[in-house]
Every structure is written in structure tokens, then in C-alpha cells.
Structure 1
Amino acid sequence: MKVLKFGGTSVANANNIGLVKDIVSNSSNKKNIVVVSALGGVTDLLIKAANLAANQDATYKKVITEIEERHLSTAKELISVKNQSSVLSKVKSELNTLETLLEGAFLIGEITAKLSDKIVSFGELLSSFIISEYFKQEGLDAIYKDSRELIKTNDLNGKAVVNFSLTYKNANTFFSGTKHAVVVAPGFIASSENGNSTTLGRGGSDYTAAIYAAAVKADILEIWTDVSGMYTANPKLVKQAKAIPHISYEEAMELSHFGAKVLYPPTIQPVLSEGISICIKNTFEPENNGTLITKSKNEKGKTVRGISSVENIALLSLEGSGMVGIPGISKRFFEVLSQAEISVVLITQASSEHSICVGISADDIDKAVEIVNNAFEYEIERGKINPVIPEKDLAIVALVGDNMKSHQGLSGKMFSTLGKNNVNIRAIAQGASERNISTVIKKGDVKKALNTLHEEFFEENVKQLNLFVMGVGNVGAKFLTQVSQQKKYLKENLKLNIRVIGISNSRTMLFNESGINLNKWEDSLEKGEKADKQKFFEKVNSLNYRNSIFVDNTASAEVSETYNKYLGNSISVVTCNKIACSSKFDNYQELKRLAREYNAPFLFETNVGAGLPIIDTLKHLIASGDKILKIQAVLSGSLNFVFNYFNDETTFHDIVKQAQEEGYTEPDPKIDLSGVDVMRKILILARESGNQIEIEDIVNNPFLPKESLDTTNNEDFFASLVKHEDSFQAIYKKAKDADSKLKYVAQYEDGKASVGLQEIPKGHDFYNLEGSDNIVLFYTERYPNQPMIIKGAGAGADVTASGIFADIIRIGNF
């Protein structure tokens, strides 16, 4: 014999009930007990009507009308016209009784627990009757049985306790005696031994099904719902969550207790004691295997089986020196909560006995504070115990698995994974069985925590990076193209899943929480909302995604001033914008500190040398114990381009214009030609070498005339270049006559830095530097005579974008 239970969503309407009929028809068992809940949402409507009536609010009648329409319309859709008369008559008769009960509550202005049980029982009574009649019409050998005749309880309405010996006797007698293939019975409802209607509380329909399964020693209990089993995490919060094929009773109870809503732990007690298997199935996808729950342990090698959560939690902490070594404190604390019917879901206590911390429903926190403070009023007045400390807006996240106790380091792995994403842990609880590790965190961090842990324990180490990109001009556009091209490769080979969630230019910004389609981002961005740097940050922060990275492809000082906000909220920053790292040393240090404190990498490899690994190499030298003695470098790809192509057959103006048009210079080319850009770069290298230096400390030897340096716009700047062409030709001729080449050189040595145009003779490392290439010479204690040389393309949108991409991959590999 098989017991099948169908929840409210499974019987919400006529269409769904048709699916239920198909499932029952296809059952391989000769005998089936079908337990059904009320039509989806009807129980809530019944409770609403009862409360309105008790408050003498006549609008309860509108709710009755809605309940009546739901049931009559469902019956009319399911039952053929020729069979409708008797069914509709019975439904209307029951609804009339319901209306009479509610009218009584309205007249006396109150509702008792006994009356409440009678009222809410109508949901299951009506649905089970309609479904049984539909089954008969469709040719199933079905019969209806009122569960109140079989399941007997005490008279404690609302929380009735089952009399199992009498119930099992009744159930055995009936089910063994019936010859019908299908018995349809209402869940949730029962009756006391003197015949009054009672209810079985939360999860009551599951409980009904489990009681019947245990009574008849069923082959299996199938619980049909709207999900395909118990999942590794809440699929509404974790898209990568998957159904667990096989799980033990204990694991299922732990997951159910911590938020897996498909099962309510007390309901499986009857089948647990009989060793009957449970299968969680999806009414809407019956072909899926679902989750099988059995007495046996899970497969070898499986440690964490699921990650679950409970929201709406508050912590209540009792502490004080007067608790140490005093027997009975814990007893009094828990007793006062118990007497107030406040359930404790988590307990943690320091071995010093100085404090006890419990997790309870946030709905009970105010009452708990009051009663506990009253209970310990004497000790609080004398300063031996502090008034209890409440903390709200919290949640519990738990790892569950039978085999967790045999694997070392799971707790550390869990805490480390959460810590890397700045999920602060407020309390920890772990039982001796080690089947459950529970942590209390901020409610706002639940989605991030679940996804982070699921990624760590279930997704074969595929790490998701969520990018928020500011600036989609030359460099930004190239960067997005590279991300789009490499997504598949990164996922397959580096186990990195990169999603671009937000992008912005100076006009508009766009967010897509599922990831922006990088093949159509230009069109989508055009239709985005008005760009706002503060709102962009607020959106990134509110999404609170794991592994969030802010990517700055601009040269904006305003954007660089927002880095501290991102880093301070555990959002990594990757930037080609040199302004932040060349700003005041205190600000540079503060950004570094925030990155360390909030575990948010701050990477800016492209600040020097575009895609060349200059800063990364420097960091490795310093980290390995080497010391920088001197740095010599050609760090401006734009200036190298200009002086490589400028000669007596060209004009300086034309070459600079060409460099600007080909993307080698900043939008304002004076930043490059004035030496400011190179000053920033050598400043960054000096700081990354461990030196405290400001940009004002760098000696700049300009080659531009003062008139060119004093211009305030590009038009005037280029006009000045034409005007002073003779002076540029003179600089070129002097170098040519010395058989030298012009290079703009940056140098740092003995705490002093300088930049300027130099004549480089043949044989020098800089002499043959072509195109827009950069070169850096690191003279160190390990490389005192023959420097470490890094050379290559140092400008251009493609190589800069690739450098940004490389920094993001570095974060992914942290």
C-alpha cells in the first residue's frame, strides 16, 4: 500500500487536480491512500474570515463569498454537468454550516480555539470531497473517508495530541477492510474522542499522511508538492541548487528544521519509527525522481548534503559576572522562555559561563526581553547580571550532512568562505553529532552566504564573479568584448563564471541581476536609466552579491573617490584609473587598509604599463624579500609613440594628433605630454616599492613650451603645438646630431624621483624601444648590475583591457 499526500499548490485549481488524478491513476500500487490539503490559499482565507468575524467586521462575508466561489467554480470545472447536482449541493451545505459558525463568532465578538478548529477544517473537508467525486467520475475505484473518524486526539484544540494506539487501530480496521483501490482523505483534521473537530497544527496534512503510512505499514509515503524534492539550497535564492537524490531521515529533519519548507520535521516521526521511506515529488514534473528519504546513511564520500537557512531570527544574550559558577541560571533562563511558549532554535554558551546566547523567532524578541529581565530583576538590580541584549534582523545558515563528522576542516572551510565575502558571523552552534553546523548572520547577507557556500561545497569549485563596470569607452568596450569571448574558456578551464551585472557610461547606467547580454549591451545601455555614481554604488551594495568587483575604466577623479565605499563594503576594485593610487599618500594607504580589512582586493596593474605585469612583478620582488635600489623606465606609450615617429619630415602636431586618434593618449593629450601621466606612474611604482612619496616630490623637466602647458582646452593646445614647431624640431635635431633617440624617462633612486625627455645613446636598453612600447628596469639587491627588465606594449585599448581582465582573473584565483 502507498500513501500519497498532495499539498495546497498541488490542488490549487481544477487544472492541478487533473494532474493529481493522472499521478494517482499511474500509481503502480494496487491500493493507495490519497491525503489532500485545502485548495491553495483557502486555509489563509478561513483564518482571515474567522479573525474578521471575531472583530465584528462584517467584511468577513466577502471572504466567505470568495471561498464559496473558489470551491464551486473548481467543482463545476471538474465534475460533468450530469453529476454536478449532488456534489454542488453537498459543497453548498458545508459552506452554509461554515457561514453559520462565522456568524456566531461575529455575534459574540470572539473566537475560541474549539471554534477555530471547526472553521479551518472546512478547507480540507471540501477539497477532499470534491477530489474524491472527481476521481470516481474519471473511473478510479475511489472512496472518500473523513479523517475525523480515524485519527483521534485529546481536546487540546489547535495543538491536539494524537492517541496513536486508538488511531492505528481505527486506521488498520478501515484500510484493511476496504476493497477500493483509492481512498481519499482530508489532511490536517482529526477529532477528539468525544467527537469534537481538532486540527494537527503546522504541517498537519503531512502528519496525517505519515500517521496513515505508519498505521498500515505502507511501502512508501510520497509527498507531492511544487518542487522536485529537497534541494542542496533554496532554489529561489540559489539558482545552481539541485535536488538531492537520496538523503537520510536525520539529514532531512535537519534541513527541514532549518528552512527546507517541503517537509515539517514532526510530521515524519510516525514513519521514522517504522522505517518507512519517504519520497518528495513534484506534481508539475512527475517524471523527476525527487528526493528519497530513508533510514540508511547517504552515499560514501558525500559530506555536506544541503545548506539551509531560517530568516526572521533574533539573538537574546544573557551575560554577567554573577552567572559564573552559579547553578540554575540556565534552567531559569530556559524555563521562563518555555513558560511563555517561546521556542529556542539555537543555543550557544561560552565555557566561562559568563554568557548564554539563544536564537529565537524575531516575532518573540520583545516579549522575551521583558520576561527575562523580569525573571532576573534581582540579579540585574545588583549588577550581577546585565539586562538581556537583543539583536534583530538576523538569520541562521546551516550546513547539514551525516558524514560531516568524519571530515576535518569543514567548519574552518565554512567560516573562511563566509569571511572572504565579509559575511560576519554573530553566533555559532554545532552539536556533538556534527550533523549540523549553524551560524547566525545578518538577514541581508543570507542570499550571498547561501550562494557562496553552495559554490564552495557543491559546484565543483566553479567560482562566480559579479562585475560592475564603470566606463565603456575605448578600453571598457574592448574589455566587455574580451569577457564575452572568454566566458566559456574561463568556466571550463579556470572554473570561473564571470557575469557583468551592471555597466555605466557618463549618460546612462544599466543593471541586470541575471547578467547583461554582452552581445547587445550597447543597445540595452542606451535604454538604461540616467547615470548616477552614488546610485550606482547603492545598487551594487544593495545587491550584495558574492565576489562582487567594481571595474573602473575611466580617468575620472570623481569615480576614483568612490573606491573607499566599495572596498569598505567588501566589493573588490579593479582599475586602470591612476588618480587614486597617485593621490595623497594617506588616501593611497587608506585604500590599501580597507582592502585588507574587508578582504576586498584592490588591483591596479594597468596603472603602469597597461597589460604588462610590472606592478605584479614588483610585488613579488618585495614579498620575496628583495629590495628596490633604482627604477628606470619609459612608461608613456603615447610619448614613446610620438618620439618614435616624430622627425624632420613630420610635424609634432600631426604625430600627437595621430597618437590621440589611435587611442594612445588620454582624451586630454596634455596629461601625457606634460609628464603628469608619467609622474603618476613612477609615483605608484615608488609607493609599491615601500616608499612614502607625494607627487609634489617628483621633479618634472618639461619639454613643452610654457604657452602649451598653460592651455585649458585641446583646441588651444594643438594650436600651440603648431606655433612652436621650430622648438620641437630643434629638440629632434640635437638628439639626431648626437646619434641618439628621444625617450621620455622616469627614474626613482635614493628616495628621489624625476621625469623628463632624454637623449638615449646607442647601446642603451631604451634605444631600440619601438612604437608605443614601455620598458622598466628594476635594479635590486638581487639584480644590482644587470636589472630585471619588463618590456612590451604599454598603451592601447586592447592591451589595457587585457590587463584589467588579468586582474579580475587574479581575484578569481584568490
Structure 2
Amino acid sequence: MQVLKFGGTSVASAENIEKVIAIVGQALAQGPVVLVVSALGGTTDALIGAGRAAAAGDEAFRITLRQLEARHLTAAEALLPTPAAQAELQPWLTAQFTELALLADGIFALGELSPRTLDRLMSYGELLSSRLVVAAFQARGLAAAWADSRQLLRTNSRFGMAQVEEVVTEQQVRAFQLATPSNLWVAPGFIAADAEGHTTTLGRGGSDYTAAILAAALGAEKLEIWTDVSGMLTADPRLVRAARPIAHISYEEAMELSHFGAKVLYAPTVQPVRQRGIPMWIKNTFAPQDFGTLVEVAPPPTPNVVRGLSSIGNLALLNLEGSGMVGVPGFSARLFAALARARINVVLITQSSSEHSICVGVNEADVPAAQGVVNEEFAGEISAGRLEPLRPETGLAIVALVGENMKNHPGISGRLFSALGHNGVNIRAIAQGASERNISTVIRASDVRKAINVLHEEFFEATSKQVNLFILGPGNVGGKLLAQLAQQQAYLREKLSLDLRVMAIANSRHSLVSEEGGLDLRTWPEDLNEAPKLTLEEFTQLIISKNLRNSIFVDVTANPAAADQYAPLLAKSVAIVACNKVAASAAYASYRHLKQLAQDFNTKYLFETNVGAALPVIGTLGDLTRSGDVVRRMQAVLSGTLNFVFNNYDGSRPFAEVVRQAQAEGYTEPDPRLDLNGSDVARKILILAREAGQQLEMNDVANESFLPPSCLEGDVPAFYEQLAVHEPHFRALYEAAASEGKRLKFVAQYTDGQAAVGLQQIPPGHDLYDLRGKDNVVLFYTDRYTDQPLVVKGAGAGAEVTASGVFADIIRAARL
């Protein structure tokens, strides 16, 4: 004997029912079959909607019933090829809808929909579909017998979620088997009857349960659950695109996953077949060749520690707290008894070891009733101040890790907490049974998608980590960065297991956003020009609202307003990679606040390119200080622009012409004064001093400008005019150095807490003397590097180089 159950999508249309008939036909070749069917897809919801509309006095229920009748008659016409077959079934269908209409009219007249009446109303879905399927088999010459589940399954009278009386049910099933010898029974799922013959239902999804009860009562060889997915998956595919099928799973693991929201299987289904050791196969009606999932006593071993992930939404936590609980037995029993009286199901329980509080998880819809019964139960303790009134917290969900292999396997909880923590997912409560088969965490409902993806990546996708980039400023440097990302995406996936996806690109005029999967980096310039505009605040809220795992905000601008967005993003565990120097060189309190936020929310705030483009200056400084070294002095040339200018100015050409050349070759800001006035270098040495542990402000950095004051007035054309006017000044600076065999370098210095920038004459033999082109150099004098400094030297300007420095920071942040 085999029991096969087909869900609502499997019988949603005549075309789908044909697939069911083909699958059952193959099963019949192996032996007798009991077929359990759900209502045609969407029918139960439509019946519930019609009943509620009728109770509310809305005559729209009549339209719903007419649509359902038309749908069933159309399916009958398609499935029954001969007028004779149709003539037998169609009057019966019409009679059933007449009964339905009378029932709905009664609900409309009374203005009330009781649980008992709702069960009767819902039962028509399965009654109609099962008789339709029987007629289809018979029309094809297969002798199918219809079995009324209300005569087979005995339950109590808890309408809406009736409990099965197993002994009576098994007796009735056996009696029907003896009285109705047939190789094929077709029974409606979901419905049953109480001792008085009133129709009951087994809860939404109860058709699976019907099939399991029949399989257990008949001692079936196997139970097959046919649905629209190829078995149980490692996670909900609607949340995790990389979810994969689970080929084998134990009964216990299947129960845990189904209890915690795995939609492919109704939670109570497992128990009846588990008791009898009946294997259960979950298969796909639309891909019958797929293996699916086999639920069995002892599945073969798997290399994965975790078998699957699941979640339950619409959860609330009820917190009962107070010193009056400590050391007093019976409080928990009274709490659970009060909830039981109100028929409130407890999903999760956790209690502090101090006994000062106990926390239970329930469905959000049960919160008002729970508050009432619990506060009533403990009214005396609450009024005496020994307990606080029950405090509910809503908007929550449970995410659960499930797997037999988790037992006695250290480190699973640590990996779970670490992965969620790195992505800013706060855990409100934790529960783990002694079996170690399930670790449940309560989190915000808004974080479920992120959490499930983070954990799936951690436990099932060791070969790939998805990183989501939001890039602000696709200009000269930003454009080079995007080109480098496009070039290296495949390499990073293969060599570093990083799947970098650009989810949004924005400038001052447009914001291009990907819904999922990432933007096409081959066409982004054209796509961006057609995209709408978002303000910086809107762009920040977009990043926060998407709530994607491993998110990084990449600021490739010099915009102070962009730096204002760092704090709210860090507070959401979004990493920051900043080419923008404004934030790190702003007021010290702001700088420290951002660093502290990154630490508090377990994320990264990286700004290596603030100082030396792609040179590892800040990284090297960090390595020194973290290893216990103390930086006593730093001497540096930190402006590729100024180094280029003074390396190319020898008095043979006007100083203004050399500056124009630097600007033309992309070594300056659009306004070259920002480079030549020394403020940019001052920012850089300030950042280095802060990273070395000094509490300095910008006005603490002495800036000895070599530019005459008039060069800093007016606009850029006026600036170049003034450079020409003051050519003798620049020539005199050059000649004074050259006469002594020295070279001009704009130098940043830090010595024991003091910082300064200015033009210096560098003698031969000095580490700065031979610095060529646009190179930068930093000399670190520390307790370990006293006489001979640690030197970091290389190209310190240029869009390509700077972009590669930003790229390196992205990879550092991604590998957190």
C-alpha cells in the first residue's frame, strides 16, 4: 500500500490534474494507492474570504462563489472528455455549490462566522476536488473509489485545529478498507469529523497530515507528498536564491524544519509515519524525475553540520519579570496554564538562570489575549510590586538552525552569533534544546531575509560570500574603480570566494539601483544617465531599507554631506570605505565617534586612500601600533600633486605652466589651490597623527604656505594669473634650494604630538631627496625604528592608483 498526497498547486487546473493522473498511474504499477488531494489551489482562501465577507454583510461573497463554481465546472469539462461523464459529475457539482450558497446566505443573515461553520465552509474545497479527481480517473478506465475522510478520521471538537483520536481513526480506516476493496482510493485531505458527525479541519496544510494518518493506519510501505518544489530545501527559496535540495533527512530534522516554517511540509505530518517507521518522500509534481527529499529513520551521513534553516514570522515575545519569582516554585506552571486556558500556543521558551525573568514566544495575534489572562493570573503579585505587568514585544521572528550533526559539535553557536553580529542582526532571545538538534534565535522580522542569507552563506556556501556595494561618486576615480571591479569579479569569485555585486551607483544627478543580482558593470554609464535622482539622505535610507548582508558604502567623493551619512550607516552595520577625507579629518570628536560606531556595531570604517592613494600607509601605521610600537616621529611627502610640480619646476618654464601640466594630467583637484595651499597635506598628517593615537584638531596643524596670499583669492583663472605675477617668488624659492644642491619638497611632519606642513629644502642623501614624479613617501620613526625609519614609498596620485586603493579597502571590508 502506498499513500500519495497532492497539494493545491498540483490540482490547481485540469492540466495539473493530468500530471497527477500520470504519476498515480505509474504508482499503481507497484501496488495499491491511497490518493489524498487538497482543494484546487486558492480555493480554501477564497472560501474563507467569502465566509468573512458574508459575516460582514458584504454581498461580494456571491461573486466569489460563482467564480469558484465556474472554475470547477471548467475543470470538469476539460478532464471529462465525454458528455456522459460530464452529465454525471456536473449536476453533483452544481448541487454542492447550491449548498454552499445556502450556507453562506445563513452566515450573511446571522452576521456571524463561528469556527464550526467555518470548518464546514472550508471543507467544500477538498470535497469538490476529490470527487473531480475520482471522476477523471473513472473516465480513463481506472476504477477509483471515493473515500469520505469525515467517515475515516475521528477528531475532537476543536474546530479549526482539531486533534485526531488515533484509536478510533485506525478502526474506521481498517473497516473502510475491508468494506471497499479497491486498488485506488481518493480521499479529501484536511477534513475530518467529531464524534457527533460535525465537520472539523486539521489546520491549514492539514492534507499532509491526513495522508500521514492514513499511511500509519494502513501500515503503508511509503508516503509520498507531492508539491510544487523538489523536496525540502536548505532554506526558503523565496528568501535565499542559493537554497539547495536536501536529498535525505531524518524524521526529527524534518519535524524541526517544518515546525519552524518550512512550507513544503505541514509540521504534524511527520509524527504518525515516524511512529511506524514509514519512509516519507517529498516530490515535485512538475518535475517528477527529480529525487526530492526522502525522510527516513537513519539518513546517510552528510558533510554539512547543519541540515537546514527555517523561520517563523509574526512572532511576539512575552516577558514576565520580577524579583518575586526568584526561588518561588510554580510561577512557570501558572504562566503556561494561563496561556493554555486561552488556547495560546507557546512557540519558544527561555528563562534567565537568575529566575528573575521568563520569556515565551507566541503568535502576534495572541498578544491581547495573552496579556489579559497572564495579568489576571498574576494580579496579586503585580499589585504587590513583586512582578511587572506582562510586557509584549512584537515585530519579531524566529530563525532556526536544524541538524542532527550539530550534536556535540562545538562552535556552531559561535559561528551563528558571529555571522549575525557582523551584519548587525540583533538577537533578542535564544533557545536550544538538550538534543542540540535546533538552535533558535529571535530577531527583528525585518532582518529575516538578511539573517537567513547570512547563515546559509556561513553553513552551506563556503565557496562564495556575497558582498553588496553601494558606490557614491562614479567620477574619475569612481569610474576607474567600477572598471576594476568589472575586470576582477570572476577572479575574486574563483580565488577569494567573494561575489562582489554593485547594488547601486549614485552621483549628484542620478541614482542607479539594482533590485537584486547586481548592476551590469558593462552598461552602467548609460543606465545611470537614465536613472532618477536620490538625495544623499534618500540614498542612505535605500541602503538601510534594502538591509542586505555584507553591505559596503563606498564614498568616492570629496563631499562633506556624504561624510554625514557614515554614522547612520555604521549604526546599521554597513561598512564604510571612504576615499573622502572629510570625515577622518573633521572634529576629533566626530572622528572618534565613527571609529567607535564601527567597533560597537562590528563593522569596518576604512579610509586608506585618505593619505597615500593605494600606498599602505594607514595599514602599516595600524600594524605598528597594534603590535605595541610607539610612533615618535613621521616625515612625509603626501601630495603627489606638489611632488610632481616641484620635481618638474626648474626655472626653465613658468611655475604656472607646470601647475597647468599637473592639472591636465589629472594630478590636481579641479581647483588646484586645494592641493597647493597645503590644506590637503595638513588633513593627511592630521589623519596619520590621529591613527597614531594623538588627539589633534585641524587648527593644531601648522601650515606654512609657500603661496602668496593673492594667489588664494578669486577663481581658478585668477589663480593662474597670480601665479604668473609671482613667478619671481617661485623662481627665488627654487634657486635658493638649488644653490645649495638641495631640492624643494612640500613636507608633512609629526613629532611627539606636534604636526606641521610646509615647503622644505631637502639635502642630498635624505630619504626624500630622490623622490620622483608623483611619488609619495612616509618615514616612520618609532621605538623599534629609531635611527633607520620604516619607509613606505610609491605612486601617491592618479585615478587608477587611487581606485585600486579603494578596491583594496573593499576587499578588506568584505573579508571581515
Q: Fold conserved (TM > 0.5)?
A: yes
Using the alignment, how far apart are the partners of 2:628 and 2:159 within structure 1? 75
**Is this contact kept in 1: 2:631–2:692, CA < 8 A?**
yes
1:120-159 maps to which residues of 2 (within 5 A)? 120-159=122-161
Secondary structure at the counterpart of residue 600 of structure 1: coil
Q: Residue 688 of structure 1 is aligned with which of 672, 687, 691?
A: 691
- C-alpha change, 1:700 and 1:191, in structure 2 (3 Å) is closer
**Is this contact kept in 2: 1:297–1:402, CA < 8 A?**
no
How far did 1:157 drift? 4.0
Q: Tell me what 1:63 maps to.
A: 64
1:22-421 maps to which residues of 2 (within 5 A)? 22-27=22-27, 29-82=30-83, 83-175=85-177, 180-192=182-194, 195-297=197-299, 299=301, 301-421=303-423
Indicate the larger mover: 480-489 or 22-31.
Answer: 22-31
Cα RMSD (Å) of the superposition? 1.9
- C-alpha change, 1:450 and 1:112, in structure 2 (3 Å) is closer
Secondary structure at the counterpart of residue 347 of structure 2: strand
Q: Are 2:556 and 1:553 aligned? A: yes
- C-alpha change, 1:469 and 1:175, in structure 2 (3 Å) is same
Q: Tell me what 2:659 maps to.
A: 656
How far did 1:781 drift? 1.1
How far did 1:273 drift? 0.9
Using the alignment, how far apart are the partners of 1:798 and 1:688 within structure 2? 26
**Is this contact kept in 2: 1:585–1:692, CA < 8 A?**
yes
**Is this contact kept in 2: 1:203–1:267, CA < 8 A?**
no
Using the alignment, how far apart are the partners of 1:113 and 1:796 within structure 2? 73
Using the alignment, how far apart are the partners of 1:20 and 1:388 within structure 2? 51
How far did 1:42 drift? 0.8
How far did 1:394 drift? 1.0
Q: Tell me what 1:9 maps to.
A: 9
Using the alignment, how far apart are the partners of 2:258 and 2:720 within structure 1? 72
**What is the letter of the counterpart of residue 274 of structure 2?**
L
Secondary structure at the counterpart of residue 406 of structure 1: coil
How far did 1:486 drift? 1.1
Q: Tell me what 2:646 maps to.
A: 643
Over the matched positions of the two proteins, sequence identity in percent amounts to 53
How far did 1:450 drift? 1.0
How far did 1:561 drift? 1.9
Secondary structure at the counterpart of residue 92 of structure 1: helix
**What is the letter of the counterpart of residue 422 of structure 2?**
K
| 1:756-794 Cα distance to aligned partner (Å, 9 max, x none) | 222222222222211111111111111111111111110
**What is the letter of the counterpart of residue 603 of structure 1?**
L
- C-alpha change, 1:706 and 1:420, in structure 2 (3 Å) is same
Secondary structure at the counterpart of residue 510 of structure 1: strand
**Is this contact kept in 2: 1:313–1:359, CA < 8 A?**
yes
Indicate the larger mover: 367-376 or 758-767.
Answer: 758-767
Q: Tell me what 1:634 maps to.
A: 637
Secondary structure at the counterpart of residue 494 of structure 2: helix
**What is the letter of the counterpart of residue 244 of structure 2?**
K
Q: Tell me what 1:526 maps to.
A: 529
Q: Tell me what 2:802 maps to.
A: 800
**Is this contact kept in 2: 1:259–1:309, CA < 8 A?**
yes
How far did 1:699 drift? 1.8
| 1:613-636 Cα distance to aligned partner (Å, 9 max, x none) | 011001101111111121111110
- C-alpha change, 1:162 and 1:342, in structure 2 (3 Å) is closer
How far did 1:456 drift? 1.0
Using the alignment, how far apart are the partners of 2:458 and 2:119 within structure 1? 46
Runs of 4+ in structure 1 over 6 Å off: none
- C-alpha change, 1:432 and 1:637, in structure 2 (3 Å) is same
- C-alpha change, 1:157 and 1:440, in structure 2 (3 Å) is closer
**What is the letter of the counterpart of residue 541 of structure 1?**
I
Q: Are 2:606 and 1:603 aligned? A: yes
**Is this contact kept in 2: 1:322–1:384, CA < 8 A?**
yes
| 1:458-485 Cα distance to aligned partner (Å, 9 max, x none) | 1115322111111000110111111111
Task: List alignment gaps of at least 5 residues for structure 1.
Answer: none
**Is this contact kept in 1: 2:254–2:270, CA < 8 A?**
no
How far did 1:211 drift? 1.6
| 1:632-663 Cα distance to aligned partner (Å, 9 max, x none) | 11110111111222233323222222222222
- C-alpha change, 1:274 and 1:573, in structure 2 (3 Å) is same
Indicate the larger mover: 467-476 or 324-333.
Answer: 324-333
Using the alignment, how far apart are the partners of 1:208 and 1:716 within structure 2? 87
- C-alpha change, 1:160 and 1:371, in structure 2 (3 Å) is closer
- C-alpha change, 1:799 and 1:140, in structure 2 (3 Å) is farther
| 1:408-463 Cα distance to aligned partner (Å, 9 max, x none) | 12112211221222211111111111111111111111111111111111111532
How far did 1:112 drift? 4.3
1:456-605 maps to which residues of 2 (within 5 A)? 456-460=458-462, 462-514=464-516, 515-605=518-608
Using the alignment, how far apart are the partners of 1:677 and 1:263 within structure 2? 63
Using the alignment, how far apart are the partners of 1:461 and 1:433 within structure 2? 30
| 1:568-595 Cα distance to aligned partner (Å, 9 max, x none) | 2211111111111111111111111111
Indicate the larger mover: 57-66 or 379-388.
Answer: 57-66
**What is the letter of the counterpart of residue 61 of structure 2?**
Y
Q: Tell me what 2:763 maps to.
A: 761
| 1:162-205 Cα distance to aligned partner (Å, 9 max, x none) | 34334334434544676654332211122345544333333321
- C-alpha change, 1:678 and 1:25, in structure 2 (3 Å) is same
Q: Tell me what 1:810 maps to.
A: 812
Using the alignment, how far apart are the partners of 1:102 and 1:579 within structure 2? 68
**What is the letter of the counterpart of residue 564 of structure 2?**
E
Q: Tell me what 1:737 maps to.
A: 739
**Is this contact kept in 2: 1:248–1:298, CA < 8 A?**
no
Q: Tell me what 1:615 maps to.
A: 618
Indicate the larger mover: 400-409 or 180-189.
Answer: 180-189
Indicate the larger mover: 40-49 or 57-66.
Answer: 57-66
Secondary structure at the counterpart of residue 608 of structure 1: helix
Q: Tell me what 2:727 maps to.
A: 725
Using the alignment, how far apart are the partners of 2:602 and 2:30 within structure 1? 57
**What is the letter of the counterpart of residue 46 of structure 1?**
L
Secondary structure at the counterpart of residue 193 of structure 2: strand
| 1:1-32 Cα distance to aligned partner (Å, 9 max, x none) | 32111111221122222322232233352322
Using the alignment, how far apart are the partners of 1:44 and 1:517 within structure 2? 40
**What is the letter of the counterpart of residue 63 of structure 1?**
T
| 1:523-557 Cα distance to aligned partner (Å, 9 max, x none) | 11112111310000001011111211110000111
TM-score by length of 2: 0.96
Indicate the larger mover: 674-683 or 692-701.
Answer: 692-701
**Is this contact kept in 2: 1:10–1:226, CA < 8 A?**
yes
Using the alignment, how far apart are the partners of 2:168 and 2:340 within structure 1? 30
Q: Tell me what 2:21 maps to.
A: 21
Indicate the larger mover: 528-537 or 484-493.
Answer: 484-493
**Is this contact kept in 1: 2:304–2:459, CA < 8 A?**
no
